[in-house]
Amino acid sequence: MAVIRDVMPAFDLLQPSSVADAQRLLAQHGRDAWVMAGGLDSFDWLKDRIKKPKVVVDLSGIDELRGVRSTSDGGVEIGAMTTLTEVVNNPIIKQKFGLLSQGAELAASPQIRNQGTIGGNVSQDARCHYYRAGWPCYRAGGNICYADTPTGRNREHAILDADRCVAVNPSDSAPALIALDAKFVIRTSKGERVVDAEDYFIGPDIDITRLNILRPGDLLTAIRIPSAFAGAQFYFEKIRDRNVWDFALMNVASAMLVSGGNIDRVRVAVNGAAARPLRLKAVEDAVRGKPKNAATGEMAGRLAVQGAVPLQFNAYKIPLMRNLVKRAVAGVEVSTRAS
Amino acid sequence: MPNTVDTNKSAQPVYGGKNKLIGKDYPTADLYAKVTGKAKYAEDYRAEGMLFCRLLLSPLPHARVKHLDLSAALAMPGVKGILTADELPAPADSLTDNGTVIRANKLGERGLTNEPLYQGEPILAVAAVDELTAVEAIEKIHIEFERLPFAIDPLDTLRPGGPNPRVGGNIWHRPPAALMKPGERPAPPPPIEIKELKWTEADFAEAKQGRMPMGHVPEDPANSWSYGDVETGFKNAALVLDETFVTPDTSHQCLEPRSTMAYWQNGKVHVYTGTQSMIQTVPAVARWLNIDPSNVVLVSEYTGGGFGSKGTAAISLIIPALLSKKCNAPVMMRISREEEHFIGRARPSLTGRMKVGFSKEGRIVALDMFSIINNGPYDAVGDAPTSGRIVSLLYQPQAMRFRGLTILTNTPPRGAQSAPGGMQGISLMEPILAKAARKLGLDQVAIRRINAPEGKPPFGAANSQGKRAYATSSFIKQALDRGAEKFNWNERVARNPKRIGTKVRGVGVSMSCYSGGSTGFDGLTLIKPDGRICFQSGIGNLGTESVIDVHRVTAEILGVPWEKCDVCWGSNSKNVAWSCVSGGSQTTHAMTRAAHAVGMEAKLRLQEIAAKTLGGKPEDYEVANERVFRKGGGAGLTLAQAAQKAIQLGGIYDGHESNPDVNRYTKASIKALAGQGLVVSARDKYPRDGSTYSFVASFAEVEVDVETGKYHLLDFLAYADVGSVLHPKTLGGQVMGRSVLGMGHAIGQKWVMDPAYGAMLSRRFHHSKPPTILDIPARMEWAALDIPDPETPVGSRGIGEPPVGGGCSAILNALSDAVGDEVFRRAPVTPDTILAALEAGRPMQHPLMAHI
Amino acid sequence: MADMAGTKKTEHTKAVSRRKFIQGVIAGGAGASSATYLFRASGVVSGAGARERLITLNVNGQQRRVDVMKQETLAMTLRYKLGLTGTKIGCDRAECGACTVLIDDVPRYSCSTLTHTVRNAKIVTVEGLAAADGTLHPVQQGILEEQGFQCAFCMSGFIMATTGFLKTNPNPTRAELAHGISGNLCRCQDYDKILTAMMRGAELMRGARHA
């Protein structure tokens, strides 16, 4: 069969108006169904004709999945179908959890943020160019990794926690949510489940074919950010080739409560280093109680990259991660130049 | 730093002097259609019963189709026809205007193939009632391949025992023409062949150290030449640098994919497409289809970008035309972005090595340059020889040796891209010049100034008579001086400290040049009985606006207000003049000359009509303010009256008799226009002493974060030496736009390919990384010297290409000013390269390892 | 025609010629299309929650009846069903912005929006900006005054992105505007002149509002 791209296969479009309806449709169609949020990731798979579902279940008509609500504990709950633009512009998120606004605003492009959702952004698939081009790699169910060879192109790939597959997670909002200690609300056929942000994501050692814990039929319905880090000191930085519409070579997010110059509570996460956004628990433990200064930052950076294994073309990610984590802990010296 | 605090644009100089039109801004006539969405590009046309066509592309970089089973596809309802390589017309020889036979390259690209030579090469095309049917039909095609050896890197195929990208070898070879016997007509040159070139293990010894190996180069005057005493130059030099540098392969990626719709009617093929060159595309289509040019109707009103990739005809025009004939229905071939990456052409990478000897004052006393071009599998691009020619012109080395090789590979076909070869040659030289200035303790502007061309600067090797070619003029020293002043170069260089926190600033300057014009084309103008004047433009409309701008010259000469003028363009059915190919930055120069010629001719005809009508001699009359009238005032005719009179006079005046000087395409248009008014045509026969080149001095400042390798472009200035300014706003767009195109090569644009599979991995914009609006310098400015070129009547030269090399190299030089000479050894320079080198304290990039 | 979606695959993919189908559309009173393209039935039997194929779209202030396949993108519907070819397809992958239209005043990539998902939305394309008397929208006028753009294939997308952005920030700095319209590529790389033209458009728009 010859391969051809760029025309979506015919499918039936199902547009439920409630989560319950969506779940019923997903149960009914099983493996024939594809769940679509904003659609930006979906359309790539469909237009490349690598995925040919019989039905597409479009979540955009489900009002209960949209919007940002304050919670009684002083946090917020964000419906999974809330667009990234709504997340970026939401005054409560901006004021209390600006880390997420920063991360979300660095994703993709304005039009994509106007359509792409927070649920979609954290649930999107890996962008390894071999995998996305339809090569039969481990992640696609095959028995080979094309990127992890002496000549494979792996500048964008993982330095940590690789297991056969060396793809990385592409999300910009995910590390911010991990740093904010967010909880992900999942509706399964058995009911609702709430998991810590960092536990939503899985590496190839757990399941090489997916980046998160969602199973067919499951829906991510909301993301809750507790008040713990409301108004804390935040740091977010994304390093990418182009200044818009580019995936992170690496990004870092930290949330920190400082008292008397010492780090009181802290959470740090990076993405672009592994198949899942990494919460750097060892770094957090090491810097807790320490003064927020350059020395602590240096120490944090060195600790962060322990165990990192470079591939042929991505050794730069080790100093990049070290320096980004350093900044996420100690802050960055601000340029005082006039212009 | 007042120069960067102020975000207001500084005022542009006033261009055009006392002219009414030339050098003045105005809204071009095509803008209204563009802003309202009414402008029709190729894919916007519809025809009754239109079919859609999709391509089956080769998954392999080099293979032979062993077995093809179309039966399941053909059996599908809605499938109307499948075109395979076996049905293509034979490549046709062609005749030039002076009767010379150009032999078709039988080994050249034909559109479809049974021996794909690159991954993504079209093998067959399916026409169906809709795209979904065509796609599903392609998925039903059973195809078996025999895999053949492949090479995507030119050095791999040069290695001893290395794979050949084509059966028979890796380079083109033109056998010498047969010796002419006295009294016989010269035979057409023999057809071009493929030969094998392999270097030795000894040649490759240096490659391990990251230095480009330099082996044998076949005898070829364009690719192996020298002048002066290079060896003595090196011996006497105060500083000798020997550097390897590699530029990226970059796809043109016009925003409009090269979609085309075609149908046949009454024996003529109608082709709706986007092309850079309108009238010149007509014979090209005829040649591809092996039909007579009179049977081609071409429609190309708006073209969504070309940059060299839509020169004339191409496979994207030919496949729908042939399928339409086969299916007896209109066929639309929409080209997807991924297909555009494969068939849409690309600039070839240059793997280059340069040994440069400098005097202690920074003068280049000797230069040894070796360029290897990664050509792809088909016809050779001219980038290798051009890289040498441009370097010899722009830096005026006292002695120079050039060697160039154009190596075939199994990668998508290359084509000319804005400043082909020139951009790469300049990007090879400029970082060396920057390094030399630092080593010699010289100012970066000063070292360029001392080497800059001026007067009628020579370039290339001497011909068989011992003479070297030269440019018509160069005023780049003035551009450097004025640019340095406008950019506050000295203040920026003296900035202290260069580093604050983790941010380091760097400034760079580059010279740049490229060819800026050709000669010998036609102007055709119709003055209508209602007094309006229409310019019959055969120029392509690719957005530079030269299709409209150049005709302001005729209006200026005739003293006609622009509101009374129309430009007729977009199809050969509109009776247009023979015009240059809009490539090589020819158009402004070539077609202002033609516009000038036709303006002078119109003046003469008007004077003759006045004399015939009102008595006296033609020279008693003058033309101004829409009238021809007796000098010193008195009797006269309006243009409307003169046009009416022309129709009465007939003959040469209303087009019933043709101007013998003009091209046959112009003659056909004159015939069609005959009787509609005063029909004036002229061929540009103005003399020109020298070859036309335009020059730019480019300045840039960048800021690098040494902890991440990420950098930002802060400021940029391009100061252009392009002769007289024709239209400031479109000129500015070209200067800045082409500069940014060059910057793309410095900051990120590239191909990513897997060498083990010969596969293109960068199929999407976020893989190949063309610059976005947030990647350009925060502040950009341009200016032009506005010094007329002495060898053309209007003084204007082309500008499309000259800024490209400067855009790239000014950024490269600013980067090395910030982080040092040893950080990068190839372009683009991305954060990973910078960070890895700064971390290790030594270059970490292997220059000869490509496509990462 | 409304029964199209429910009909079985075999009846449609096999024998229905395009011409017959078009006649059917016209006879059925649904002759909204100026051009015909991709009229084939989706070939999938409707399931629960499925929508009919014949839908009404609000485009440039008009209600347009149109037959749309389930997998059809808005860009294709606009260009091939409604004759609105000012919206361009540059990449079809949400990367270049040439297809940008306003959906309920929000700039979106129409190449990556399923038409069926915007049935109830207000869609504006570049053809819907100028007044009925031909008076240009200020953003269009700004381009005319500054000779913005070169080949202009990206132009309608940039115009729509700018128009949408200015609704949220009518008085942007040059840098803010650049960020606001950064989802659009120009391969002529005329970004600097585009920004000048769009800043002029914003200025004209503010003037028009005050007038």
Q: B307-352: per-residue pLDDT in tens?
A: 999 999 999 999 999 999 999 999 999 999 999 999 999 999 999 9
Q: What is the pLDDT of residue C21?
A: 36
* Residue A332 near chain B (CB below 8 Å): yes
Compare CB distances from C70 to A13, A43, A112 and report the shortest one's residue: A13
Q: Could you give the residue ranges of the DSSP H alpha helices within B70-206?
A: 71-74, 131-139, 154-158
Q: Which residues of A touch C93 (CB under 8 A)?
A: 43-44, 47
B139–A152: do the CB atoms touch at under 8 Å?
A: no
Q: What is the pLDDT of residue C52?
A: 64
Compare CB distances from B503 to A244, A327, A335 and report the shortest one's residue: A335
pLDDT tier, B634 (very low <50, low <70, confident <90, very high otherwise): confident
Cα B690 to Cα B461, B468, B474, B518: the distances in Å are: 15, 10, 11, 11
Residue of A74, A276, A279 lying closest to A178 (CA atoms): A279
Q: In this complex, which chains have at least 3 CB pairs below 8 Å with chain B?
A: A, C
Q: What is the pLDDT of residue C39?
A: 46
Q: A92-118: per-residue pLDDT in tens?
A: 999 999 999 999 999 999 999 999 999
Q: In sequence order, what are the beta bridge partners of B691?
A: B471
User: Is pLDDT of A209 > 60?
Assistant: yes
Compare CB distances from A12 to C47, C92, C97 and report the shortest one's residue: C47
Q: What is the pLDDT of residue B11?
A: 59
Three-state SS for B333-379 is ECCCHHHHHHHCCEECCEEEEEEEEECCCCCEEEEEEEEEEECCCCC
Least confident residue range of A81-85, B774-778, B842-846, C2-6: C2-6
Shortest alpha-carbon distance between residue C110 and chain A (Å)? 10
Q: Which residues of B touch A314 (CB under 8 A)?
A: 832
Q: B480-520: per-residue pLDDT in tens?
A: 999 999 999 999 999 988 999 999 999 999 999 999 999 99
Compare CB distances from B37 to C91, C126, C186 and report the shortest one's residue: C126
Q: Which residue has the higher pLDDT, C184 or B843?
A: C184
- Supply the DSSP string of B668-728, one letter for each residue: HHHHHHTTSSEEEEEE------SBEEEEEEEEEEEEEETTT--EEEEEEEEEEE-BS-S-H
Compare CB distances from B338 to A5, A334, A336 and report the shortest one's residue: A5
Shortest alpha-carbon distance between residue A29 and chain B (Å)? 23
B338–A6: do the CB atoms touch at under 8 Å?
A: yes
Give the Cβ contact number of residue A193 at 10 Å.
Answer: 12
pLDDT > 70 fraction of chain B, expressed in percent and rounded: 98
Q: B579-626: per-residue pLDDT in tens?
A: 999 998 999 999 999 999 999 999 999 999 999 999 999 999 999 999
Q: How far apart are CA B190 and CA B289, in angstroms?
A: 22
B37–C125: do the CB atoms touch at under 8 Å?
A: yes
Q: What is the pLDDT of residue B97?
A: 66
**Mean pLDDT across chain A:** 96
- Supply the DSSP string of B261-286, one letter for each residue: EEEEETTEEEEE---S-STTHHHHHH
Compare CB distances from C153 to B31, B131, B304 and report the shortest one's residue: B304
Judge contact between B252 and B307, C-beta under 8 A. yes
Cα B280 to Cα B275, B277, B291, B296, B580: the distances in Å are: 9, 6, 15, 12, 7
B5–A339: do the CB atoms touch at under 8 Å?
A: yes
Judge contact between A252 and A322, C-beta under 8 A. no
Q: In sequence order, what are the beta bridge partners of B54?
A: B126
Q: B110-158: per-residue pLDDT in tens?
A: 999 999 999 999 999 999 999 999 999 999 999 999 999 999 999 999 9
pLDDT tier, A330 (very low <50, low <70, confident <90, very high otherwise): very high
Q: In sequence order, what are the beta bridge partners of A163?
A: A165
Q: What is the pLDDT of residue B12?
A: 65
Average pLDDT over residues B774-798: 97
Q: How far apart are CA A104 and CA A180, in angstroms?
A: 13
Residues of chain C with pLDDT under 50: 1-51
Q: Could you give the residue ranges of the DSSP H alpha helices within B466-561?
A: 476-486, 489-493, 546-549, 552-558
Chain B residue with minimum CA distance to A3:
B139
- Whats the size of chain B, residue-wise? 852
Q: Which residues of A touch B839 (CB under 8 A)?
A: 316, 319
Angle at B785 between CA B783 and CA B787, to 5 degrees: 150
Q: Which residues of C touch B25 (CB under 8 A)?
A: 147
Q: What is the pLDDT of residue A8?
A: 97
Given the structure tokens 């926190």, which residue do they identify? B501
Chain A residue with minimum CA distance to B770:
A242
Give the Cβ contact number of residue C74 at 10 Å.
Answer: 29
A10–C71: do the CB atoms touch at under 8 Å?
A: yes
Average pLDDT over residues B170-189: 78
Q: Which residues of B touch A9 (CB under 8 A)?
A: 132
Residue of C131, C197, C202, C121 lying closest to C167 (CA atoms): C202
Q: How far apart are CA B847 and CA B210, in angstroms?
A: 6
Q: What is the pLDDT of residue C29?
A: 30
**Mean pLDDT across chain B:** 95
pLDDT tier, B799 (very low <50, low <70, confident <90, very high otherwise): very high
Q: In sequence order, what are the beta bridge partners of B704?
A: B504, B711
Judge contact between B747 and B740, C-beta under 8 A. no
Instruction: Estimate the share of chain C in helix, then strand, then coil, as percent rounded to the nearest 5.
Output: 40, 10, 45
Q: What is the pLDDT of residue B5?
A: 34
How many residue pairs from chains B and C have C-beta atoms closer than 8 A?
A: 184
